[in-house]
Structure 1
Amino acid sequence: MTDAATGTDWQAWQDSWDRQQEWYLPDREERFRVMLDMVEAVVGTAPRVLDLACGTGSITDRVLKRFPNATSTGVDLDPALLTIAEGHFAGDARVTFVTADLKDPDWALRLPHGDYDAVLTATALHWLYSPQLAVLYGQLAPLVRPGGVFMNADHMPDPATPLLNAAERAHRHAGMDRARAEGVLDWAEWWAVAAADPVLAEPTKKRYEIYGEHADGDTPDEAWHARTLREAGFAEARTVWRSPSDALVLGLK
């Protein structure tokens, strides 16, 4: 939608974020499709969703398009991406956004609900180091209702295959070069455009004060995620989708 007060086209910002992310994740829509397939298979078509580290609300957008009777709570700390999300979903009573730092032990107290059918996240939690992520998984287990699901789609390389990993990286970088030739903005270019926008300039400045160029973190493999989710209190956990470099791990409560 377009903001009548500022003239900002929030749909255009949402679309540009998606294109920038697809620069790095050409199979991004496939992981979203499988994620929502599993939501439907396990908890049905009217889920209460927690969109964790939601960014611009990419997961929420796809949830509501596929499941019109769903509701979603988006939680993030990034003021620029939340500004886009709030503008994009303005007036939609199904959506709530919460500003919270997932490193804060009390972050979940800010949520409007005590539990959720599905907690979903994609390409975000690699900003945390493994010990921090293990703590977060322990905090998430009580937020997922019995029979509900948690899913994390992220970079989860296999350390046992370094040569294959290197070949995959080279192939992916070649794809990035093609995207650049087609005029797609990369991460740094996208943020430079946001910093120059009159509406997003101040939120982007605050975002860099929080994160710098990019937050640190690490990328444990999918076996670590499944094991840590079981240790956190999920009854079952395993990979439900895989690409050469990324995986979607599901924890069933």
Structure 2
Amino acid sequence: MEVPVAETVTGTDWRAWQESWDRQQEWYMPDREERFRVMLDMVEALVGPEPRVLDLACGTGSITDRLLKRFPRATSTGVDLDPALLAIAEGYFDGDERVTFVTADLKDPQWTDALPYESYDAVLTATALHWLHSEPLTTLYGQVGGLVRPGGVFMNADHMKDERTPRINEAERAHRHMQMDRAKAAGALDWAEWWELAAKDPVLAAPTAKRFEIYGEHADGETPSVEWHARTLREAGGFGEARAVWASPSDSLVLGLK
């Protein structure tokens, strides 16, 4: 699905960019909506339908969008460093007083100082923290543990590898890429193509260039196992309980309960 380049600066269609980002991400993760559904199910189950949420590494605000559609009385703080994705998020949610966006680097020891609240009912993130290596991710989990109130939750849906099953992993990867090839042949945009379009938009061109100065083509992080995430949430984050609450053949959703 090709996003048309806006004819004027004021004519940028933020909804089209938001939807295009979702479609591009779904090319990699066709079960993306299912993980969001389970994530919000667990938010409702553990902290109720009016949560104060921190959308961690929020990107275009995909989690916030689904959160507010399901729970209209929720509030969300989105935090990210990517200027292009934040531009889409801010344009898409413009005028919605339930949403605040913060520009911050999660590797900065002081990033939590920029947040409008000292604590949250839920901290949610998806397909973002694999950009970090295990050491900074451990530090981040410790910081997140300080933000989640007692009885609150943290959830991370991401790529989480189990190196003990190499044959299963290879078969799953081959099958997933076969499906991706079919979708690509039918017109799906991949990561690089999506960013090429963003670079042509009159509003997104400058923040897109800045984004690549910050990150390069793609960050070189890690994808540790579910067990690693659960253990680190307990040990570094101070969560009383932590385990997977959803899984696909390649990804998992880990929940930590304070």
TM-score, length basis structure 2: 0.96
| Sequence identity percentage | 78
CA RMSD in angstroms comes to: 1.1
Partner of 1:235: 240
Structure 1 stretches of at least 4 aligned residues deviating more than 3 Å after TM superposition: none
Partner of 2:192: 188
State the alpha-carbon separation in 2 of the partners of residues 157 and 62 from structure 1: 27
> Which residues in structure 2 correspond to 1:29-48 (within 5 Å)?
29-48=33-52
The answer as to whether partners of 2:119 and 2:148 remain within 8 angstroms in 1 is yes
SS in 2 for 1:54: coil
SS in 1 for 2:199: helix
Which amino acid in the other structure matches residue 249 of structure 2?
A: P
Which amino acid in the other structure matches residue 36 of structure 2?
A: F
Which amino acid in the other structure matches residue 32 of structure 1?
A: F
Unaligned ranges ≥5, structure 1: none
Partner of 2:221: 217
Partner of 1:145: 149
State the alpha-carbon separation in 2 of the partners of residues 68 and 95 from structure 1: 11
Unaligned ranges ≥5, structure 2: 1-5
Deviation at 1:5, TM superposition (A): 6.2
* 1:188-227 Cα distance to aligned partner (Å, 9 max, x none): 0000000111110000000000000001100000000000
Which amino acid in the other structure matches residue 41 of structure 1?
A: A
Question: Is 1:120 aligned to residue 108 of structure 2?
Answer: no
Question: Is 1:98 aligned to residue 102 of structure 2?
Answer: yes
Partner of 2:175: 171
SS in 2 for 1:197: coil
SS in 2 for 1:46: coil
State the alpha-carbon separation in 2 of the partners of residues 17 and 52 from structure 1: 17
Total equivalences in the alignment? 251
TM-score, length basis structure 1: 0.98
The one of 63, 73, 76 aligned to 2:77: 73
The answer as to whether partners of 2:9 and 2:202 remain within 8 angstroms in 1 is no
SS in 1 for 2:217: coil
